[in-house]
Structure 1
Amino acid sequence: MVGSNQIHLGFIAFTFFLLFWDASPITASKFTNELGHPIEFEFGNGDRGPEHWGDLKKEWSTCKYGKLQSPIDLRDDIALKVKSTFDELSISYKPTKALMKNEGHAISVVWEGDAGGVMINGTEYILHQCHWHAPSEHTMNGIRYDAELHMIHKDKKNRVAVVGFLYKIGKPNPFISEVKKAISSMIKKPKQVPLGVIDPRKMKKAQKVHQDAAKRKMKKKTSKFYRYTGSYTTPPCTEGVTWTINKQVHTVSPSQVELLHKAVYKYAEMNSRPVQPLNYREVKLHGSSFVK
């Protein structure tokens, strides 16, 4: 009888060993990147996707309960049309040294020195970095574009202002072409690459247009931008961010979009948060221009 009990208990112990031995690698690989580093959040419909960000950490609860979340659908039919003055957006960027970094969920350019910034309603915001999302996070009149660039600024009180640009498939983006080699060198690697001196003004310039008529048409297109109050589009989803999105849609080539997908880690290859509820926020469509 004693021998029978020992065999029975031994079988139970062996069964539990098989269960845990089999489950451990699955659990580890599910929430780690290619190098085995922990993944705090991810995109898509997984257990750590956008729908669950607010449940993953207490300090990320704003992702779930916040009422001023980004991105949103920028719609002309509900936007308040206003005639802008120079005070509502003036840009004064300047060239300085920068690094390109693979942050896992996005490829970013980080300026090491004084790269200038923007002035919004009398407040100066200094440019710190920019990064790409593909596809776009904001939609415009219900249309999701192929990529979006975010230029991140902060004022003296650490308040954040983001200037964003949308991109559709077309001619190659000049700046991405310029740094293509640097992006390619960090595919799925936690790496940073010195870029030398980078002029932030390159980020907001469209392709060169040679015909005067086309130039006038482009200037007209760049004369409008959206403005609203939102949040970070990744955890902790902090609110109070001043968003400025250029209404003109620039272009990016299919190979450039593919490169942005390949460079980040697999869990972030489609690194865009879904559109969030507007919640009665005011969206303004300004008539000023980014182009000086």
Structure 2
Amino acid sequence: MMLLTLIFLQGFSHVLAANHGSHWTYAGPHGKEHWSDSYPDCSRQAQSPIDIQTKSVQHDPALPPVEPQGYQSPGDGAFTLLNNGHTVQMSLPQTMFLRGLPQTYVAVQLHFHWGSRGHAGGSEHLVNGESFPAELHVVHYNADSYANITEAKRQADGLAVLGIFIEVGDVANPAYDNILNQLKNIQYAGQKVSIPPFNVRELLPRQLGRYFRYNGSLTTPPCFESVLWTVFHQRVQISASQLERLQGGLYSTKAENSSPVPLADNYRAPQLLHERLVFSSFPVGPSAYSAGEIVAIVFGTLFVCLSIFLTFYFVVKRARAKRIREQKDVVFKSSSSRAASGDSHRP
């Protein structure tokens, strides 16, 4: 009897631990600061996201462009769009995969991270301390080595995630309407809707050959350090009204909850880089700097050009003045010589 009681208590404690471990939020008692209490990997040394400091990035000319396969024509099967209480997630078919990486990585799902209305931030990755209103992640697993994402996500080379910065532009982005127009149907956690397949390639930047690459982790629990990150340099633009649809009207709680909690600010703060290296597929120039740095570079360049022009102008002006003086001296001497010669021939 005592043995049975101990077994029951042990099993019950495991259930409680499992339930506690499966519950996490971005704020509150189960928020980001407490993730490592239930998920030890969240406090390891190769966590994501990071603040990409372009001055420390190493250019690797051997990095090839990313080549999405099957993104434009993902098949006839419907996509499933889900509010999982943490983000908006869309399932992807295995006909979509990536080339240009060390292995063949097959697509699994995509999801978003965003801020709240009235706040500039929302992206998980930063560039030189600059954040963006939202960020899209497209998750893939290493199909060459592992049978599925469940097996792959615990392995060092198991996952590859594309990170796309989203900023506000002047016009709406039709590709994103395929998802954003459906958010009204998945307002509460656990709700999902089927949507027709569409060209997923149009969600990505046009330039897929310019990106940052580093080894990191999942940005949510269990925070496994199994992700090869590709963060594109070029941003994708959506309209202000499209961003507002993402930022408002969604809840992280179920429909039956009497006190609904808004789903917003679902991004993790940048983690320490430690000894990791960040590579770029392109030479990082002024275009990768922040707006303030670009302004400083432009004005500095203009100042240098103006200084060179003024220096050249005054040198030329001084040389010209010197030539004029020399010519006047020659004329004066010549005139004086002729005058003296004329005086010597007078009777």
State the TM bucket, normalised to the shorter chain. 0.7 to 0.9
User: What's the CA shift for 1:197?
Assistant: 1.9
Q: Distance in 2 between matches of 1:74 and 1:110?
A: 28
Q: Distance in 2 between matches of 1:151 and 1:47?
A: 29
User: What's the CA shift for 1:189?
Assistant: 4.3
Structure 1 gaps, min length 5? 1-37, 207-218
Structure 2 gaps, min length 5? 1-20, 115-121, 147-151, 153-157, 253-260, 284-347
> In 2, are the aligned partners of 1:115 and 1:200 still within 8 Å (CA)?
no
- In the other structure, the counterpart of 1:192 is 192
Q: Distance in 2 between matches of 1:79 and 1:202?
A: 28
- DSSP-derived class of the 2:201 partner: helix
Q: Percent identity?
A: 27
**Equivalent position to 2:68, from 69, 88, 91:** 91
Paired letter, 1:99: T
Q: Distance in 1 between matches of 2:66 and 2:102?
A: 9
User: What's the CA shift for 1:247?
Assistant: 0.3
In 2 relative to 1, CA 90–147 (structure 1 residues): closer, same or farther, beyond 3 Å?
same
Q: Distance in 2 between matches of 1:263 and 1:285?
A: 36
Q: Distance in 1 between matches of 2:100 and 2:218?
A: 18
Q: Distance in 1 between matches of 2:242 and 2:62?
A: 34
> In 1, are the aligned partners of 2:163 and 2:230 still within 8 Å (CA)?
yes
User: What are the residue-to-residue correspondences of 1:140-179 with 2, within 5 Å?
Assistant: 140-156=127-143, 157=146, 158=152, 159-170=158-169, 171-179=171-179
User: What's the CA shift for 1:95?
Assistant: 1.6
**Equivalent position to 1:137, from 95, 99, 124:** 124
In 2 relative to 1, CA 168–121 (structure 1 residues): closer, same or farther, beyond 3 Å?
closer
User: What's the CA shift for 1:180?
Assistant: 2.8
Q: Distance in 1 between matches of 2:182 and 2:176?
A: 10
- DSSP-derived class of the 2:242 partner: helix
* TM-score of the aligned structures, taking structure 2 as reference length: 0.62
User: What's the CA shift for 1:138?
Assistant: 0.4
- In the other structure, the counterpart of 2:107 is 127
Paired letter, 1:81: H
> In 1, are the aligned partners of 2:178 and 2:198 still within 8 Å (CA)?
no
- In the other structure, the counterpart of 2:276 is 281
- In the other structure, the counterpart of 1:61 is 40
Q: Distance in 2 between matches of 1:41 and 1:155?
A: 27
- In the other structure, the counterpart of 2:286 is none
- DSSP-derived class of the 1:145 partner: coil
Count of equivalent residues:
230
Larger Rg: 2
Greater mean alpha carbon deviation, residues 125-134 or residues 166-175: 166-175
- DSSP-derived class of the 2:188 partner: coil
**Per-residue Cα deviation, 1:255-291 (whole angstroms, up to 9, x for no partner):** 2222223324136411000000000210001139xxx
Q: Distance in 2 between matches of 1:145 and 1:102?
A: 22
1:82 aligns with 2:60: yes
**Per-residue Cα deviation, 1:96-120 (whole angstroms, up to 9, x for no partner):** 3311111111001102x33321124
- DSSP-derived class of the 1:123 partner: coil
> In 1, are the aligned partners of 2:125 and 2:270 still within 8 Å (CA)?
yes
In 2 relative to 1, CA 187–264 (structure 1 residues): closer, same or farther, beyond 3 Å?
same
Q: List structure 1 runs of 4+ shifted beyond 3 angstroms.
A: none
> In 2, are the aligned partners of 1:43 and 1:268 still within 8 Å (CA)?
no
- DSSP-derived class of the 1:144 partner: coil
User: What are the residue-to-residue correspondences of 1:16-95 with 2, within 5 Å?
Assistant: 40-44=23-27, 46-55=28-37, 57=38, 60-64=39-43, 66-86=44-64, 89-93=66-70, 94-95=73-74
User: What's the CA shift for 1:122?
Assistant: 3.8
In 2 relative to 1, CA 120–205 (structure 1 residues): closer, same or farther, beyond 3 Å?
closer
User: What's the CA shift for 1:249?
Assistant: 1.3
Paired letter, 1:78: S
**Equivalent position to 2:217, from 220, 231, 242:** 231
- In the other structure, the counterpart of 2:244 is 258
Paired letter, 2:137: H
Q: Distance in 1 between matches of 2:23 and 2:262?
A: 11
Return the structure number with greater relative CO, CA threshold 8 A, min gap 6.
1
Q: Distance in 1 between matches of 2:282 and 2:275?
A: 22
Q: Distance in 2 between matches of 1:259 and 1:226?
A: 29
- In the other structure, the counterpart of 1:100 is 81
> In 1, are the aligned partners of 2:180 and 2:246 still within 8 Å (CA)?
no
> In 1, are the aligned partners of 2:205 and 2:232 still within 8 Å (CA)?
no
Paired letter, 1:100: L
Q: Distance in 1 between matches of 2:205 and 2:210?
A: 15
